[in-house]
Amino acid sequence: MNKQLKVLFIGTYVPKECGIATFTFDLLNSVSGVHDDIHCEVIALNDPSETFNYPEEVVFQIERDKLEDYYRAADFINQSDADIVCLQHEFGLFWGHAGDYIFALLSGINKPVITTMHTVIREPEPEYRASTEKLIRYSEKLVVMSQTAVEMLKDVYKVPDEKIEMIFHGLHDYPFNNCSKYKQMLNLKGAPLILTFGLLSQNKGIENILEALPDVVSQYPDLVYLVLGATHPMVKKTQGEAYRQYLMNRVSELGLENNVVFHDKFVEKEELCNYILASDIYASPYLSREQIVSGALTYAIGMGKAIVSTPYWYAQEMLSDNRGLLVDFGDTAGFKNSLLYLIENPDECNNMRKKAYDFGRKMTWENIGKEYNTVFSKALKHYNPSPVVQNRFNFLPDQLPEVKLDHLKLLTDDVGIIQHTNLGVPARHYGYSTDDVGRGLVALTQLIDSQEKAEELRKLITTYMSFLEHAQTGTGHFHNFMSYKREFLDEEGSEDTLGRAVYGLGHVISCPYLSKNIRTLAHTLVSKSRTQMEKLSYLRAKAYTMCGLYEMLRADVDADSFESVFNSRRDAVRSVDSLIDKDTFESIFLSHADSLVDMYEANRKEDWNWFEPTVTYSNAKLSEALILAYNYTKDRTYRRVGLATLDFLTETQWRGDFFDIVGNQGWYSCDGEKPIFDQQPIEAGYLTQAYISAYETVRERKYLELARYSFEYFLGRNRLRTPMYDYSTGAVCDGLNCDGMNCNQGAEPIICFFMALSSLNKHAGEAYSALSQPTVSEEGLPKRKSLLSANQAE
């Protein structure tokens, strides 16, 4: 090879006490020992709340019951310089139905996968068949450890020959020798010494050997049967030591206390090999015929032991040609006769041992490492990423969906918009929210491009305006939550509630197709909120307020604009002490803009271009507010900070072909890890709006492309490749969780969808034609510092 081959193994790993952990460790060392130019690393699987002091080759860990960790591992693999992934697969290693969590990882990586299958099921239940077939699709090569498994893959799962590789389970190379030296070393007795080892569980069938021993012991009273191994951790967790206690009770009942010894411990590899070398006979009385591989049996073969075993698949194959004795399942007499035969016929026993030992030479780890490296080389040579990996989002439409208001109208009654649904049916017990109504007005006014459209939406807008007028308190603030009984549930809402109400009212005021009456009412409500707007302290409340005030200021709204209306409607005038003039609104607007800049300067640092030490919710609205402030004032500081923070959000969430929105399970702090779930579609909607504002401000095509990609988050361009928008109903699901899509189809997601759709619709032709020569997906985004430099230079 002309360059170093880098292999990334996935499996349990030492010091975890399990057979696959030991296998992964031995396989890694055998592969890396083949050639100096092979570098190996490990992604280790842990049980819940399990921690280990891993060796340095472990570069990533997965807590196997956390789906999010599998997604993170996929990201890690894609960003690593690994050439190939070698997966150790056993259904029980991974969480989910038939271990299907692993597919969150496999479906997201762009490296060839070589899968070592530690289990193959001949007659699988439907979920295990589906899981196996999926594993086959995602694997470049399948490695199995017996010819029986090869035939099973071909017959049961229709796997082509060229995809299957048969490589034996590895074993350590020890010389052929007698047992006395190792018995003395371990202070073991037994003439003969019979051994069964491995993590203890009921499938081991040890009781069948116990039942056979009384007749053998009556002739050979010095015989010792050593059962070596701790109880399997999962068995111990669910059943305690019930099986071990059952075996010990049976020993007492059979009078075998002097002949059966239990060593309840997990032994390290070197000590284990010494125990095997000390034994005269290895007993493998497994109860399940479907056992497709056994590391314990492999070790016994390679060390030249006389072997008695039940005829499970792996044993049948490995012990053929007189390399051991097979006894039918549950045949106590057969075990007795086989043990007596080996004890009483030393020449035949020694010949059997030699045959097993000679066969085992092809299974030494040195040879196994060479075979795996050959498979790796073949896989790399012929690997072509599947179309799914090359273009995971080829199911997306090539045009924007039409505006479909059915679901929004379904959620809206004569009071307001119901917050949530139960399987798409409005859930009345959740009531209404000013937050939704305020943003709903933004969405509706953005959809209006003609007098006809205004008339179509008049009833919805009037209902929402009626709600806000009723929700406003005497201080100018707003209640937020109203029950279905039309009772407000709070004294007043949060600062965000005020900001969202002003956001919606500002859009009503600036919409030229709405009647003067409804625009005057909106202006009146905003004017009543002046004192509350001046007192705002939270950044997002300020940003929402700025977006609403920008619409008012952009439309050049002041007291003179409504003079004729107010003169004819004295009651309306009396509802406000006096109209607030344009200078007052402008002062509030600029004060909040300066506050955002101050927070940015106070919290920014290297690799953290953000307003706060944590990225939380409604993030892009902060950047958009400053971009709008630049549009109104032409103060380049606002543009610099607005674009820098928007670019930071892009770097934080853009994965190269989809947006991975900051999840709300802990948010994302500057010294922490970005949570993946739960992802809220409001963030994608706000990103789309902010990118469109940035594009309209600086005319850089990348912002238009990003606007399309962030909008397509709703259509399936997301981590789970799951469409959240329902074309048939116009509903939008409420988020992406670790276990899939949140099926609530409430007010917030559909409103944010419309806000994003309206923003992008203004440039739909450009957005789709721009992607014929994409800059974001192929060339990648410029780094944040270069963006800042460019923005400052302009």
| CATH annotation of 180-362 | 3.40.50.2000
Q: Is there a contact between 310 and 283 (Cβ–Cβ < 8 Å)? A: no
With a threshold of 0.75, does the pTM exceed it? Answer: no
Residue ranges of the chain assigned to CATH 3.40.50.2000? 5-170+369-382, 180-362
Strand (E) or helix (H) holding 23: helix 19-32
Q: Are 407 and 751 in contact (CB under 8 A)?
A: no
Pairing state of beta strands 58-63 and 38-46? parallel
Specify the amino acid at residue 785.
K
> Strands 306-309 and 740-742, how do they pair?
unpaired
Helices 539-554/582-603 angle, 10° precision: 140
Beta-bridge partner residues of 61: 44
- Beta-carbon contacts of 435 under 8 Å, excluding residues fewer than 6 positions away, are 480, 493, 496, 497, 500, 748
Peptide bond into 613 cis (omega under 30): no
Compute the chain's Rg from CA coordinates: 35
Other beta carbons less than 10 A from residue 73's beta carbon: 23
Most distant CA pair in the chain, distance: 120
Q: What is the DSSP letter of 226?
A: E
712, 683 in Cβ contact below 8 A?
no
CA distance 326 to 323: 10
Q: What's the CATH code, domain 612-794?
A: 1.50.10.20
- The count of residues in the chain is 794
Q: Which stretches of the chain drop beneath a pLDDT of 50?
A: 1, 388, 557-578, 772-774, 777-794
CA 759/CA 753 separation, integer angstroms:
10
- 337 in Cβ contact with 145 (< 8 Å): no
Q: Give the residue range(s) of CATH 1.50.10.20 domains in the chain.
A: 612-794
In whole angstroms, give the CA distance from residue 521 to residue 498.
Answer: 16
DSSP string, 348-392: HHHHHHHHHHHHHGGGBHHHHHHHHHHHHHHHHHH----HHHHTT
Taking alpha carbons only, the member of 55, 75, 69, 79 closest to residue 101 is 69
Preceding omega of 15 cis (within 30 degrees of 0): yes
Query: Judging by beta carbons within 10 Å of its beta carbon (0-12, 13-18, 19+), is residue 384 exposed, middle or buried?
Result: exposed
**Residues 307, 356 contacting (CB under 8 angstroms):** yes
Determine the residue type at 41.
Answer: E
First vs last C-alpha separation in the chain: 49
* The token pair that represents 48 in the structure block: 């819940």
Q: Give the domain 5-170+369-382 fold.
A: Rossmann fold (3.40.50)
Task: Render 91-143 in DSSP notation, one character per residue.
Answer: GGGS-SGGGTTHHHHHTT--S-EEEEES---SS--HHHHHHHHHHHHH-SEEE
Q: How many CB atoms lie within 10 A of CB 268?
A: 12
Residue 612, phi then psi, degrees to nearest 5: -140, 165
- Do 542 and 621 contact (CB within 8 A), yes or no? no
